[in-house]
Amino acid sequence: MRVKISLLVVAVFLLACNPVRRLESGAMLLNKNKIRCNKKEFASQLYPILKQKPNRKLVGFIRFHLGVYTLFNQLRPSKINNWIKNTIGEEPVLYDSLLTETSVRQLKQFMINNGYFNAEISDTVTFPRKWKANVKYSIKTGEPYRLKNIQYIIPDPEITSIVLSDTQQAVIKMGQIYNFADFQKERERITLQLKNNGYYFFNQLYITFKIDSSLNSDQVDVFTYLNNPSESGDSINADIRTHKQYFLNSLYIRSDFDPATPESEYVKDDTIEFKERYFITHTRRKNFRPSALSNHIFSRKDNLYSFNNHEAAYRSLADMNNFRFVNITFQKDTTRREAGKNFLNGYYNLTPLPPQAYRIEVEGTHNGGNLGAAFNLVYTNRNTFRGAEVSEFRIKTAFEDQKQFTGSESRILWFNTFEIGPEFTYRLPRILPVWPFSRIVPRYRLSTPYTSFTASYNIQNRPEYFKRVAGVSAGFAYKRKWSVSHQILPVEINFVNVKPSPLFKAKLDEIGDPALTASYGDYLIADGRYSIIINTQQLNSLRNFIYFRFNFETAGNLLRLIDRVSRRVKSDSEVSMILKSEYAQYVKPDFDFRYYYIADEHNNLVYRLYAGLGIPYMNSKSLPFEKSYFAGGANDLRAFVARSVGPGSFDKEEKIQQSGEIKINSNIEYRFDLIRVLEGAFFIDAGNVWLFKEDPNRPGSKFETKDFISEIAVGGGYGFRFNFNYFIFRIDLGYQFRDPRKPASQRWVYDNLKLKSAFGNFAIGYPF
């Protein structure tokens, strides 16, 4: 079977390199497109314009899909062969001179749209082989045309004063290079400006531009027209003859709106006025308290209509996670009459989600031989106290078969590790009025800020120990920009109780490492945390983007201050206890940076760098186990067993998970489409963990600037992802290239690579 698969792979590769035997006489495969342009800034924008592109390539040179098509096209037709040919395969792209001419015209239009009216475009076709065609497009841009004068022709003086009052924000300005896209952006800017000043019915169609390029120079004059509406039209849904400013009159909020309910059913509705807004429901008892919704509605009676307020309310209400549909409309008010004023009524139709929901989450993992499964039962209660709150109760049950250290054979089914615990989260769609958070958090215009309270209790039963963790936390989350989010967790308290098994305790005593023994003891963690996340990804866009997360955490400082003030401790070296447990004291900053390079819709490259350090001090001699760093695993060093690498070059015979206080990890992953839901990947991972101070029981564990590079573990491999959009199942196979646990001269181990030496990782979602 392996021989047949190997022969099939070789056949696909050979046919991908040379499909000439299957081409019709005189047909030539489009091998390469090349564009030479004297303006380098256009390079990435020109290739997508071409009307004919070569067959896809993997890793930049293998026409895998073409090879599959060619191979199965010559086999006897069958359902499976045809499916593979048409689903995985890709038909040869043959050179077409007509499409080349079309591409030249498209490139010419692109240059004109970017101000290079006199650009010269030419194409050259070469044939490196009889069956190959290379097309080269040469572009000489010439000098760009610039905007000389910009004039506004606006018959309405009211609109003239508004538009001319903010020309500093104009997209098109005198002296800049002509760009067709800028004129559309200017349309959008002026339209938004007027809509924010009450012109509800104004739209972009009223704005036109006239470009005069007959100046006998590389310059153009621009005439911007803001036309009045025509005399024919619907007076209810548009303005006639002149644009009108609109003020807001009545605002109606229906919080139990059902699109399927006839209008006649609404005659029995009950209405409450709150802050000059009318809250309407079918019954006298409101499903949402008016005060809970009012803060998410930014329009005010007697104020000018503002599109920004309109959109902000839509985003804020939709982000509350309480409504299936949010529909906001405005209509002319035909009853209120005031001299020189026109009015709109606003209608906020909100269709709520079911107040209760249940779901089951299933996870499966396989990392370096450790099989695992997790089952989460989640109950969600929305609008718990009629304030749009979301309460979530979760019971997590997890099993894993980990490598045993003590020789215990206690198992549940196939697993020797068991974890179970309830977690309750209560989330409010607002920031509590607590200083200073109430001052630094903006109102809800960009997205809804949240306050969350969480309580949890977790039990872990492993061959080595029995652990109980009880915790509570309270925090905030908000955004100031669309790409930047903040998370503040001022209070988080966890009590950790660990009972080592007799065999495991005896082994810890035998090792005699105080830091290792302390990590498996009882302790209290009272910490606070701040995180900032920057994500520039734009959905449905093939643009490169970054993801950056910075996290700063500190614990035990307030408790230590209380101890010193109350004189419970008299020196920095003295250890204090609360509820018979030592409390952790440390500071821990870390960051995670990722750069996503989108080559095209089928290929992308991801770079990742993670670094962090945790510094224990005063009341702590080492970081708590839960707060320590580990190396190895399905989202880390995929060629190594989870938590098996480090610290430093320390080589441990026992299977106890060793942790570190410093971590550096980097990854490069090339991802590509194979067929429909199946994606492929090649990756290289590198990293390790270290300690700040040398541990006599773990030689080689200290971070040394002169040695840490040589102690980096390196692995690589390939993987497959089954991407079902809402669910991604991942398989990664990693091979060790460099193992820091070996003697310095023997750490490169790639010369011993074998297919069967791969570490398998099954997981959910992308690794990063």
Sequence-ordered strand ranges (E) for 213-276: 219-226, 246-254, 270-274
The residue among 522, 512, 519, 547 whose CA lies nearest residue 533 is 547
Q: Which helix (H) or strand (E) holds 43?
A: helix 43-46
Asked whether residue 119 falls in the same domain as residue 165, the answer is no
Asked whether residue 254 falls in the same domain as residue 330, the answer is yes
Task: Tell me the one-letter amino acid at 26.
Answer: G
Alpha carbons within 13 A on the beta-carbon side of 175: 0
CA dihedral (519, 521, 523, 529) in degrees, to 10, reads 20
Asked whether residue 136 falls in the same domain as residue 156, the answer is no
What is the token pair recorded at 126?
């070469």
pLDDT at 339: 79
CA dihedral (555, 559, 560, 564) in degrees, to 10, reads 170
What is the span of the domain harbouring residue 33? 2-140
Q: Is 569 among the domain residues?
A: no
Q: Is 347 among the domain residues?
A: yes
Q: Is 348 among the domain residues?
A: yes
Q: Is 668 among the domain residues?
A: no
Instruction: Characterize the bridge pairing of strands 662-675 and 603-613.
Output: antiparallel
CB atoms inside a 10 Å sphere around CB 218 = 18
Asked whether residue 205 falls in the same domain as residue 262, the answer is no
Q: Is 576 among the domain residues?
A: no
Strands across the sheet containing 29-37: 29-37, 132-140, 120-126
Q: Is 390 among the domain residues?
A: no
Asked whether residue 170 falls in the same domain as residue 215, the answer is yes
- Number of structural domains the chain divides into: 3
Cα separation, 685 vs 715, whole angstroms: 5
Asked whether residue 13 falls in the same domain as residue 36, the answer is yes
Cα separation, 735 vs 757, whole angstroms: 7
What is the token pair recorded at 254?
């229906």
Contact of 679 with 604, CB cutoff 8 Å? no
Asked whether residue 122 falls in the same domain as residue 181, the answer is no
Dihedral angle sign, alpha carbons of residues 519, 520, 524, 530: positive
DSSP 645-660: B-STT---SS-PPP-B
Task: Tell me the one-letter amino acid at 600.
Answer: D
Helices (H), 79-215: 79-87, 97-113, 157-164, 180-195
Tokens 């007697």, located at residue? 302
Cα separation, 427 vs 385, whole angstroms: 11
Which of 352, 374, 405 is the last residue before a domain boundary?
A: 352
Asked whether residue 253 falls in the same domain as residue 300, the answer is yes
Which of 140, 158, 185 is the last residue before a domain boundary?
A: 140
Segment 741-752, tens digit of pLDDT: 888 888 888 776
Report the predicted TM-score, pTM, of the whole model to 2 decimal places. Answer: 0.81
Cα separation, 737 vs 189, whole angstroms: 55
Asked whether residue 13 falls in the same domain as residue 122, the answer is yes
Cα separation, 187 vs 672, whole angstroms: 38
Cα separation, 474 vs 434, whole angstroms: 12
Q: How far is CA 118 from CA 109, 141, 181, 723, in A?
A: 11, 7, 18, 47
pLDDT at 620: 83
The vertex-621 CA angle with 617 and 627, nearest 5°, equals 85
pLDDT at 730: 86
Asked whether residue 80 falls in the same domain as residue 171, the answer is no
Segment 24-34, tens digit of pLDDT: 666 788 888 89
Sequence-ordered strand ranges (E) for 255-369: 270-274, 277-281, 323-332, 342-352, 356-367
Asked whether residue 23 falls in the same domain as residue 110, the answer is yes
Q: Is 115 among the domain residues?
A: yes
Q: Is 260 among the domain residues?
A: yes
What is the token pair recorded at 456?
């949890």
Asked whether residue 279 falls in the same domain as residue 336, the answer is yes
Which of 304, 330, 352 is the last residue before a domain boundary?
A: 352
Cα separation, 474 vs 431, whole angstroms: 11
Cα separation, 169 vs 481, whole angstroms: 19
pLDDT under 70: residue ranges of the chain: 1-26, 59, 232-235, 262-269, 364-372, 401-415, 433-446, 515, 653-656, 752
Q: How far is CA 211 from CA 117, 165, 189, 208, 530, in A?
A: 13, 23, 19, 10, 52
CATH number at residue 77: 3.10.20.310
pLDDT at 423: 93
